[in-house]
Structure 1
């Protein structure tokens, strides 16, 4: 039997040590990148367009459509005071027509995607509300509208295939269930293993639906798992290969990964971090290798390595970094961070265009660290 890449364990949210149900040689249809954010068509009803929204409408009338960017809808109460905000991103104005309720107003049609940061699925104004105040991403006034309508897309959601676990050697409760011919095989968690059989990272959780004898050897079975958790991204495979021999001993391996791989590296490092190890004493000095810091994930990969060694973790975003700086994650402030080859980050950070959230710039990161008691010295 080939080296198993995965262990299938009983899913028990309260158990400290999961019971191993099977070791599996491989898996098919495991990885799944989230689909691109869906774009929809929306109508701004009873609209008075101003500012950039008005300009975009004029361009749309001349050219057929016009880009606008982020449109913030400020939900108003009966006194025209803000209740909450709800945003559309990557907005494109498609056209307009007279408002049927009030011919002095316009109904605008736009194409956009909903912001992932919206507090709820769809905005709803309270009773007696005049509607929405329309703003740009920097709170520039763009007018107002009385209502918002979503033109529903009739296209059905695409179904993902279940995960197939190949060449599995069942044991324990799963072996008992298979021998008894039970249809309900239970809920399970799939874990990626390194070459020594130690866990690298949880891959997916779900329900075991079926099994068949495996062509990979006598006594082995192929199992069908229907996930209820998110599948790991395709970039996880390149990260897991770099962790195949256990926690990396060589620095900088994360730099071999693409942008999505660097993001997943941080999640792997978080899951495999050493717990219970005391923090280093305050006043220490850590050296940040900045040669490959070309984006935010790269900064946090390098920072985790600077503080806790290759494969180390010290935050995956600013909120997580702020938590790490409070202690119990390897270092206690104040401390000194020597940032080598800092010009790479100065030239790259914060400059990649984003619609939903602009990445932090090099200068903003320096200001954040200084405010948290980290003395950054550029080298």
Structure 2
């Protein structure tokens, strides 16, 4: 596991304290029951941005702190503990990474200061079906005299309804399944011909289906090089996998700790249920799984900070985090017994978030398969 610097430890502790006080699980309930259909509360995001979280990856030249992927991962882990809904993953991790890794000086100057300030929300529009399959990009980008015209649909775009900036994967050559021929475009959220449809997710957050009907963009909207977008998209996705895995680690850890406290206080047949050996074994297994997951997640984030190849480590982190959060959310419900089946308890909220996060940016099966293919199997 990573050895944290003093600054990283302070950042983690500050994030822990703020999420406990200002973004508890009760805030997600209020968001769900408020009927607004929003993916997050704007006031919550404004507070996060005011603390500098939106600019953790942004270079200092563009008003960020350049604190690194491990630093942002520590924050995401703490937000995951309390199921805090925010565009931190989509904007501070994914959109910022895309601009840092592939953006021109003009593109970075136009968007990174706004992202760091929290005044612009960004997201990645990549998937077009019910499963994560980035190479299956079919949304067409047709070259015109002075730019491109986009036609097609993206779905399950997290925070897509409110995004000011869409990083869109489109096909300028080749066929779905090819890595060559994918081009990334920076598309404003209010572009003419762009239609966003709200998708209500099981975890009380939201996503969007975004239709592109003759959306015209200038040549300057290309992120990186035409037909060579995969060289940027793949490492951006790796960072999305690792960032989401960090958030899932936080959720799984909280589910375990809440359940462990219950085992220490609930009595049945005249004794604490935590003294039952079968439950002790299940708790011990979950604890060791959490420690393994932490090692995987932090290794992926450190590799991103070092500029190393992140592909294997990112898929290991996402696969392991998906499996352990699935187990932790199930155990939380089962070990709480009857109360765990009710909406009055938070167990259901953790389980619903688990199911959405497991599918988002690739299931455990997707990442095991990717790991095997990258390893030559």
Say which structure is richer in helix: 2
Q: Report 1 or 2 for greater relative contact order, CA contacts < 8 Å, sequence distance ≥ 6.
A: 2
Larger Rg: 1
Say which structure is richer in strand: 1
**Bucket of the pairwise TM-score, normalised by the shorter protein:** under 0.3
TM-score (ref. length: structure 1): 0.22
TM-score (ref. length: structure 2): 0.22
